[in-house]
Amino acid sequence: MKLFVAGLPYDLDDAELEEIFEKFGAVISAKVVMDKETGKSKGFAFVEMEKREDGLEAIEHLNDISLGKKPLVIKEAEERSTARPSNGPNNRPRFDPRNR
């Protein structure tokens, strides 16, 4: 089960994040999201738990606790769609002079 974790202290690293979640079961991965330009934490992360029930237990026990200034928000991560939306300026058909 993949979890989205927000409200993290900006100085928390991957190893510390994994340590917090492994109390609830086996952790496959724990990754704090970093800003590409500054190299600093964005304050959120993704944690993948081996078993769904362990992930649900982590949500139940860790959601709304505070590790810093803000309470944690933990929920099941939503899978990103690879398809582009069908509307918007970046999805307009391109002009091709061969198609006149």
Domain of 19, CATH number, reads 3.30.70.330
Q: Does 29 fall in a domain?
A: yes
Q: Does 84 fall in a domain?
A: no
Q: Does 96 fall in a domain?
A: no
Question: In the prediction, which pLDDT does 66 show?
Answer: 86
Q: Does 91 fall in a domain?
A: no
Q: Does 42 fall in a domain?
A: yes
Q: Does 44 fall in a domain?
A: yes
Number of domains in the chain: 1
Decide: pTM greater than 0.85.
no
Q: Does 94 fall in a domain?
A: no
Dig out the tokens for 23 from the structure: 């109390």
Q: Does 48 fall in a domain?
A: yes
What are 14-48's pLDDT values in tens digits?
999 999 999 999 999 999 999 999 999 999 999 99
What are 49-99's pLDDT values in tens digits?
999 999 999 999 999 998 888 899 999 998 776 655 555 555 555 555 565
Which domain covers residue 36, as residue numbers?
A: 2-76
